[in-house]
Amino acid sequence: MKLLSIRLHNVRRFTAPVEITGFGPGVNVLSAPNEQGKSTVFDALHAVFFEDRKSWKQEIKSLVPHAGGTPCVDVEFEDAGHVFRLEKSWTSGRKGSVRILRDGQLFKQEDDAEAWLQERLKSPKDGGPAGLLWVRQGLIDLEDKKGDTLDARRDLLSSVTGEVEAMTGGRQMDTIRAECKQALAQFVTGTGRPKAGGRLKTAEETVEALELKKTELSNKAKSLRDDLDRRNSLRRERQDLEDPQETAARKDRLSKAIAAHDGAARHAAMLERAIETEESARIRVEAQQGRIEALDAQLQEATDAAALLAEAEAGFKDTTDRLRIAAGTLSDAKTTQADAQQRVETATLQHRAALAAENAANAAERRTELQQRLTKAEAHRAAAETLQIAARKGLAPKDLEEIERLWMKVTLARNVRDSEAAAVTMTYLDGRSNGVRIGGTPLPDGQRLPLPDGAMLDIDGIGQLQIHPGRSGEDNSVETAEAHFYEALEAEGLGDLNMARQSARERAEAEANLRETRAALNAVTPNGIDALREQLAAIPAPMEAAEDLPTVSEAEREEVVARQALAEANLALDAARIAADTAQQAETRAVSALENARGRAERARIALASHADPQAEHNRLSSELTTLQLSLQASRDARARLALDAPDLEAAAASLQRAQSAVDAAEASLQRIARDLAALDARIAMHAAEAVDEELADVMTRLEAAERKLEGLRFEVAVLQRLDTALEEARASARDRYVEPVLTELAPLVRMLWPEAELQFDADTLLPSGLVRAGTEEDFGVLSGGTQEQIALLVRLAFARILAKAGNPAPLILDDAIVYTDDDRIEKMFDALTRQANDLQIIVFSCRQKAFRGLGGQTLSIAPASEATQ
């Protein structure tokens, strides 16, 4: 679609008809100061295309002039090879009108016209291009920050092409995904876990709770059934126990057992008595036998005691003799041992004295040797001290070396002076020797005599010859060297060089002697004189030698012999003591035996003393024993007869016990059963009242239903998750297809403003999210207003271009859309506009007349409508 002209009548300030004509392809610029009606034209254009003729909302009412009137807007545009004229007016009461002429002929009117327009130019609400291609002042945001960002995206997205809309699913896709996610959110969290309080979680918890309840009730039901079985068992047991025949049989068995036991007990008592009678008779017989045996024993004891006493008396005498002999032997042994002991002590003392004397002799030798070494050492040390003093007095080698060096300098200075000084050589004529003198001393003959200081020569017979030294007399280097030389000698206390040399030799000799002396001293006392003295002091003082001492070896031999004698004496003494002790013990035993024998004999005598005639007594007792033995045999016969036919009392008691036990056990069992039954009855009654089976049956059916429901809910969740995944994957695939052409179209535009820059698109909103420059991504929101404005416009240009390529070109209308852009950047924007305008119609409304002058393109103006259009 391409606009050709617009005519306004009764639209705000334009109460009189005005028109804008001359719209051409490419860029069209309507540049005028503020308050000239540019926005009015924009609003009128928007209204004529997108506001229904019946509309009377604020946007339409705002078009009515202050003075009133019916807003009328006529637009001519070209589309699909035809020229259309759209005439629309709005009145209160929703009675506006619209008609469309195509190539001068009436094409559509009223509702048909509106429908055609709506189809042709979808409104922004329907995803039409207005949001993209109609850009108001300051509307630079691509995202509607206050509203639904998705709508903003839709404006862009759906503006491009219906194919993109279909490709990504459009709002329908969003709606379905939202519904799917909403439905899913009722069941699970974002991570896929059952949502707390949600139906799935509740169903899971219900199943879990019912399973627990089922287990609990099953256990209770089993317990109840077990109790019922147990109760039945107990009742049968009680029934058996209470059976009359059984009860009577138990009682009969008990009665018979009691009777049998009583009879056996009576027989046993009789037998017991017979046994007691027999026992009494036996005791009497045994007592009589005892008395006879006692009398026999007394008689035998008297005989034995007399024999024993005689033997004891003999034994006592023998032991007394042996004791006396042993005492004598012991006394001798003690004397011998004491002598041997004395000899050992004496020998030991002699041995020790011999050893002491030997040690004293060794110490004296050592002292003498040390004393000699000390004397030598002290002599060496005194010599060394003297030598050391002598060495210190002498000239040190380095000092001598210094004096020699200074003397060399003197000699050298003298030689130099003499070689440079005036000199005379006197050659005497014969007979005139010593005729010339210097300082009173004759000049030697033929010898060159330098005269560095000049001289006065006395020439005999002639006079005096004055020799002037010339310049050489001024040289004092000899004196200086000599001064240094003699200062050095004087410092050492020496008169000349020879003395110095002699002093140095003496020192060297003293030092050599000193070393020899010290070596000798060291040889005598390696550890020093003090150590030597200490050694000497450590040797004990000499002892006075004893006389008549044996040698050590002699003393040792004597001590060994004495000790051997002592050992032998000790052995003999021990043997004597043992023998004495043995004899003493034997004597003691003999005394004791003698006393015992005497006592025994006395007791035997006393025992027999009560019998006047022991043998007669013995005969009487024997006769009575015979009578008692006959009585015992009679008792034995009677007891044997009773024992022969005695009933088994233990068996009878066992029978009685068993019969009684059976009766008692039956009674106890009945009592136990009664208690158990009471407890079971109570428990069963309690469980029965709880309606356990009924509850269990209910829980099982509810569990079954709950499990089915849970299974259904899990299936439902799986279905929704599957659908969500499928939608997401499809959307992602479509998104890739969508973004690519937009980026392709946008890239050259972006580079016109920012070489090397690249726009980033948000994966969800499909809107530019940032600008990457020099490798750094800047979020769209933090870019400057100018940059945001430029990007927004470039994106729209890109979409408009895609729209045009899709065969649905639409004019891009900008109402002061570039307000933040500086002069430099606006030139580039103009380039971008011009570039895109090749196959687009771009209409720019601007108050920046000066700035937009450089945009070029077709210049528009608002002018009173011509007669032809009125």
Residue ranges that bind another protein, judged by CB under 8 A: 163, 165-170, 172-173, 175-176, 179-180, 224-225, 228, 231, 684-685, 687-694, 696-705, 708, 715, 718-720, 722-723, 726-727, 729-731, 733-734
Pairing state between β 441-442 and 436-438: antiparallel
C-alpha span between 596 and 594 (Å, rounded): 5
C-alpha span between 522 and 513 (Å, rounded): 14
CB 224, min distance to another protein, A: 7
Q: Smallest Cα–Cα separation from 606: which of 617, 618, 598, 594?
A: 598
Instruction: Please identify, using beta-carbon distances, which residue of 235 and 392 lies nearer to another protein.
Output: 235
Sign of the CA dihedral with 130 first, then 135, 136, and 139 last: positive
C-alpha span between 841 and 809 (Å, rounded): 8
CB 226, min distance to another protein, A: 12
CB 122, min distance to another protein, A: 17
* Chain length of the chain: 870
CB 680 within 8 A of CB 227: yes
CB 475 within 8 A of CB 458: no
Q: Smallest Cα–Cα separation from 576: which of 323, 317, 855, 868?
A: 323
Instruction: Please identify, using beta-carbon distances, which residue of 211 and 404 lies nearer to another protein.
Output: 211
Instruction: Please identify, using beta-carbon distances, which residue of 139 and 183 lies nearer to another protein.
Output: 183
Instruction: Please identify, using beta-carbon distances, which residue of 491 and 705 lies nearer to another protein.
Output: 705
Instruction: Please identify, using beta-carbon distances, which residue of 487 and 694 lies nearer to another protein.
Output: 694
Helices (H), 525-647: 529-538, 552-609, 614-644
C-alpha span between 583 and 589 (Å, rounded): 10
Q: Smallest Cα–Cα separation from 589: which of 302, 304, 323?
A: 323
Instruction: Please identify, using beta-carbon distances, which residue of 508 and 703 lies nearer to another protein.
Output: 703
CB 724, min distance to another protein, A: 9
Instruction: Please identify, using beta-carbon distances, which residue of 176 and 591 lies nearer to another protein.
Output: 176
CB 168, min distance to another protein, A: 5
Instruction: Please identify, using beta-carbon distances, which residue of 171 and 366 lies nearer to another protein.
Output: 171
CB 207, min distance to another protein, A: 13
The two tokens of residue 598 are: 């005497």
CB 165 within 8 A of CB 127: yes
CB 706, min distance to another protein, A: 9
Instruction: Please identify, using beta-carbon distances, which residue of 699 and 810 lies nearer to another protein.
Output: 699
CB 227 within 8 A of CB 655: no
Instruction: Please identify, using beta-carbon distances, which residue of 111 and 148 lies nearer to another protein.
Output: 148
Sign of the CA dihedral with 480 first, then 484, 487, and 493 last: negative
- Amino acid at residue number 820: Y
Q: Count CB atoms within 10 A of the CB of residue 274.
A: 19
Tell me which H or E stretch contains 89.
strand 82-89
CB 409 within 8 A of CB 481: yes
CB 234, min distance to another protein, A: 13
The two tokens of residue 675 are: 């208690």
Instruction: Please identify, using beta-carbon distances, which residue of 177 and 409 lies nearer to another protein.
Output: 177
Three-state secondary structure call for residue 550: coil
The pairs formed by 574-579 with CB atoms below 8 angstroms and a separation of 24 or more are 575/333, 576/326, 576/329, 576/330, 576/332, 576/333, 576/334, 577/330, 577/333, 579/326, 579/329, 579/330
Instruction: Please identify, using beta-carbon distances, which residue of 638 and 703 lies nearer to another protein.
Output: 703
In terms of phi and psi (left: phi > 0; alpha: psi -120 to 50; beta: otherwise), the region of 22 is left
C-alpha span between 778 and 771 (Å, rounded): 5
CB 698, min distance to another protein, A: 4
The two tokens of residue 695 are: 């509850």
CB 786, min distance to another protein, A: 36
Distances (CA, A) of 254 to 584, 646, 661: 84, 22, 9
Instruction: Please identify, using beta-carbon distances, which residue of 727 and 752 lies nearer to another protein.
Output: 727
CB 204, min distance to another protein, A: 18
CB 13 within 8 A of CB 51: no
CB 737, min distance to another protein, A: 9
In the sheet with 2-9, reading across from the earlier edge strand, the strands are: 105-109, 97-102, 82-89, 72-79, 2-9, 18-20, 863-864
CB 673, min distance to another protein, A: 16
Instruction: Please identify, using beta-carbon distances, which residue of 167 and 323 lies nearer to another protein.
Output: 167
CB 740, min distance to another protein, A: 15
Rg (CA), the chain: 80
Instruction: Please identify, using beta-carbon distances, which residue of 566 and 696 lies nearer to another protein.
Output: 696
CB 665, min distance to another protein, A: 28
CB 197, min distance to another protein, A: 19
Q: Smallest Cα–Cα separation from 370: which of 530, 540, 536?
A: 536
CB 684, min distance to another protein, A: 6
Instruction: Please identify, using beta-carbon distances, which residue of 363 and 677 lies nearer to another protein.
Output: 677
C-alpha span between 423 and 532 (Å, rounded): 73
C-alpha span between 442 and 433 (Å, rounded): 8
C-alpha span between 69 and 88 (Å, rounded): 14
CB 459 within 8 A of CB 465: yes
Instruction: Please identify, using beta-carbon distances, which residue of 382 and 686 lies nearer to another protein.
Output: 686
CB 208, min distance to another protein, A: 16
Contacts of residue 306, Cβ cutoff 8 Å, sequence gap at least 6: 601, 604
Tell me which H or E stretch contains 100.
strand 97-102
CB 263 within 8 A of CB 646: no
C-alpha span between 262 and 364 (Å, rounded): 123
Instruction: Please identify, using beta-carbon distances, which residue of 176 and 783 lies nearer to another protein.
Output: 176
